[in-house]
Structure 1
Amino acid sequence: MEFQAYDVALIPLIVALVGLVGRMGVTARFLPAVAIALGLVAGFVYVAPGDWRQAALAGVVMGLSAIGAYSGVKNTVQKRE
Structure 2
Amino acid sequence: MFEIYDVAIIPLIIGAVELIKRMGLPAKYSPFAALALGLTVGLVYLDAPIKERILVGIMFGLSASGLYSGTKNIVEKGDANDS
Aligned length: 79
**Long gaps (5+) in structure 1:** none
Asked whether the equivalents of residues 14 and 38 of structure 1 are also in contact (C-alpha less than 8 Å), the reply is yes
- CA RMSD between the two structures: 1.6
For the pair 1:62 / 2:46, whether they are aligned, the reply is no
Q: TM-score, normalised by structure 1?
A: 0.84
Deviation at 1:46, TM superposition (A): 0.9
Percent identity (aligned):
48
**Long gaps (5+) in structure 2:** none
* 1:16 corresponds to: 15
Deviation at 1:33, TM superposition (A): 0.9
Q: TM-score, normalised by structure 2?
A: 0.82
Distance in 2 (CA, whole Å) between partners of 1:79 and 1:38 is 28
SS at match of 1:26: coil
